A = this chain, B = another copy of it.
Amino acid sequence: MPDILSPDCVGLVTPQTHHFSTPLALDCGRTLAEYDIVYETYGKLNENHSNAILICHALSGDHHAAGYYSMQDKKPGWWDTCIGPGKPIDTNRFFVVSLNNLGGCKGSTGPNSINPETNKPYGPDFPIITARDWVKSQARLGDVLGISQWAAVLGGSLGGMQALQWAIDYPKHLRHCIAIAAAPKLTAQNIAFNEVARQAIMNDPDFHAGHYYQYNVIPRQGLMLARMLGHITYLSDVAMRQKFGRELREGKIHFGFDVEFQVESYLRYQGRSFVDRFDANTYLLMTKALDYFDPAHECGDNLAAALTKVLAKFLIVSFTSDWRFSPARSREIVKALLDNKKEVSYAEIKAHEGHDAFLMPIPHYIRVFQAYMQQINIPGEK
């Protein structure tokens, strides 16, 4: 809860909703007849609409990327570290758009929205969404806002994957693509973790095959397990050791199955608090979008071939202790871009925070990010 708003904060923000009534054809073969997209903007769109930045969110993210909704808020948006006056995504220069993706649970149409055909929540009938579908829906939001070319599209983790997809699908519609802690596709191990998370949710007796809304319950235990497991993959072994070591919560072993080690207490807390703010069907959809992301697949598993037509300049950032999407995964992207003689900057940041590093104020990371953003040319800028 901020007592006063710091001068590098975007301040109090209000989300907006746009209703789209043009049907959206999806990768899965189905069509969404109409849908809402909720979004926030920070900064001002310049006269020739050349300073717009699109933020794509990760698995459990949403449109609230920066600022506060009220002075009573305990926390700012999820990427407040990087968005604001004088921050890497400098709202003195850029007009920033951050949306909740389709299939989400924070206001954009998703499984917990009312299906106009049935007047009941979509639940499991909500179509599977891919990164490509998201990019298409984001392009439509750009149209609504009068943005025909983004100065940059960017994101971390699954957000970085969307940025890559943008560069591939709409090469002329972005000048810069920034993918942080991302990967060109998931490994079998990544998919395996997602599958365990999904099984945890789908096996919860309160899941009711995804129709839990009508039973007035949520698959609490399953979603909690999924989040606990996710958290392990977001942190590095070293970060966990530094944060918790093998500290005992009450100073001594008590030989039982209650919480004993600090790390258990932390994970259970993370799991429990997530359940109250996230929808299980959305979690399932997001993990599937991750599993399916694989732009090289259509090009004979040749990532360079998938990137031949991109026009954007790239910044790729990875973190040394990220074992979910390790630096090697980012280097695959860099190599494929270089194979095409594309312009790419790459930074491998020494950090012990693991995958979550992309959300943290790590000085080297912030400096690199800021330097890259500062050199982005804004046509018409005074």
Contacts and interface: CB of A to CB of B under 8 A. Distances in A.
Interface of A: 27-29, 124, 127-128, 185-189, 191-193, 195-196, 198-200, 202-203, 205, 221, 224-225, 228-229, 231-232, 235, 237, 240-241, 243-246, 253, 255-257, 260-264, 267-268, 271, 284, 288, 291-292, 294, 323
B240 A192 contact: yes
A200 B202 contact: no
Contact of A257 (B198, B221, B228): B198
Given A128-B256, A232-B193, A267-B196, A188 B261 contact: yes
Nearest to A247: B188
B225 A263 contact: no
Contacts of A232: 189, 192-193, 196
Given A200-B200, A203-B225, A228-B195, A188 B29 contact: no
A191 B244 CA distance: 11
Contacts of A127: 255
Top 8 nearest A-B pairs (CB, nearest first) are A188-B240, A28-B255, A203-B221, A128-B255, A188-B263, A188-B244, A195-B264, A189-B237
Given A28-B255, A195-B264, A196-B232, 8 more contacts: A27-B255, A29-B255, A188-B262, A189-B240, A192-B232, A199-B271, A253-B292, A260-B291
Contacts of A237: 187-189
A237 B228 CA distance: 20
5 contacts: A127-B255, A188-B240, A191-B261, A196-B232, A225-B225
A196 B240 contact: no
Contacts of A225: 196, 199-200, 203, 225
Nearest to A262: B188
Contacts of A188: 237, 240-241, 243-246, 261-263
B199 A228 contact: yes
Nearest to A229: B196
A296 B264 CA distance: 21
A189, A198, A221, A245: which has the most chain B beta carbons within 10 Å?
A189
Contacts of A260: 291
A240 B187 contact: yes
